[in-house]
Structure 1
Amino acid sequence: MQNPIKAVVFDLGGVLIDWNPLHLYRQLLPDEATARRFLDEICTPDWNRQMDAGRPFAEAVAELSGRHPQHEALISAFHTRWPDMLGGAIEGTVAILDELHGEGVALHAISNWSAETFPVARERYPFLARFDVLIVSGERKLAKPDPAIFELFLAEAGLLAGECVFIDDNADNIATAAQLGFHAIRFHDAVELAVELRQLGLLGSAGPTTP
């Protein structure tokens, strides 16, 4: 029977790219605990999602600095030193991406990412050119887990949800994708992902196993 899956859709940060604000704030604050507390209490994930959804960095930084003037320099660094939050590619997952490409599987991506900073990633990670449809939330003013961004992707890719595997490290995003009918895989590491993709018939029996 023909495999009904026609495409694999990747998240980027935490799946293919090691993006983590701690890479920066470990440099700016005296210890790990202080850095984590700052990111939990001031430059929070919810605040970062505003930029992912299209809010200009300058506006968001000014508003947050007004509420926490004692942290103005640290808040500003979230924008001015944003590239320091990028680590390397997650090589095990990139190897899977390359093998899928070699197998002729259609490759796409849906990423929560600011339109202002995504050009840095495009330049740094050549494998991003593999994707036929790449939905960047900040460019579309929509962000996961809003079902609308998934529906936008399906319309642009000309696919049904049941024809797609969606891979993300975020549980809320996975839940939305599953509700819409995607074959949703919660990403933990490349070894586990390779096993799941082999079970779906998308990778050969000796697919990538490097974490």
Structure 2
Amino acid sequence: MIRGIIFDCFGVLYTGSLTLMASMAPDDRRQEIYDINLQKDYGYISYDEYLAKTAEVLGLQSGDIEKILREKHVRNKELVAYIKELRAKGEYKLGMLSNIGERTMQELFGEELHELFDTVVLSYQEGLAKPNPVIFTLMAERIGLRPEECVMIDDLADNCEGAEVAG
């Protein structure tokens, strides 16, 4: 029986920007964008380092990257309203599992994050990232459930498969 619903951030609660950043890179440097993003997700580099490295690949300034990201992160208002309804009913434990960084999370959610979710697990804090099944197991533990009692809402099939492997 499903007792917990876990949401991803980008591509679910907000539009994502990784694909946009990669599409802006020269063909021979596109993989660098994905690699830099992964380093950020795992917490190996800071958000400022992420901005600087991405800007270097794209031939832009860090501030330009920040501006592009802010403009491209559009909230899924209908889904957020639904999460608030679910929270008010209290029938499910709600969580967010994301590769989002602290600064971006604060800019997008602020204090509202804890009004929406019982538990938040962020990749960079754990040194793990989706689709690794271990991070899904960790999320389930933190929310107080077994993995098989949770459903993961994510826009990427690989991440959903990682959750499935976890239980």
Normalising by structure 2, we get a TM-score of 0.78
Q: How many residues align?
A: 163
Greater Rg, structure 1 or structure 2? 1
Q: Percent identity?
A: 29
Cα distance change, pair 101–116 in 1 and its aligned pair in 2 (3 A):
closer
Counterpart residue identity of residue 102, structure 1: A
1:56 matched to 2:53? The reply is no
| Contiguous gaps of at least 5 residues in structure 2 | none
Distance (whole Å) between structure 2 residues aligned to residue 75 and residue 39 of structure 1? 17
1:13 aligns with 10
Please state which structure has a larger fraction of its residues in helix. 2
Deviates more, 1:76-85 or 1:140-149: 76-85
Where 1:17 maps in the other structure, the secondary structure is coil
Cα distance change, pair 62–18 in 1 and its aligned pair in 2 (3 A):
closer
Counterpart residue identity of residue 11, structure 2: G
Q: 1:119 aligns with which of 86, 100, 106?
A: 106
1:137 matched to 2:126? The reply is no
1:92-122 Cα offsets, whole Å, 9 max, x none, are 3223212322331221110111233222122
Tell me, yes or no, if the aligned pair for 1:21 and 1:85 is still in contact at 8 Å: no
| Contiguous gaps of at least 5 residues in structure 1 | 26-34, 182-211
Tell me, yes or no, if the aligned pair for 1:110 and 1:136 is still in contact at 8 Å: yes
Tell me, yes or no, if the aligned pair for 1:137 and 1:143 is still in contact at 8 Å: yes
- Give me the CA root mean square deviation: 3.0
1:38 matched to 2:25? The reply is yes
Counterpart residue identity of residue 81, structure 2: A
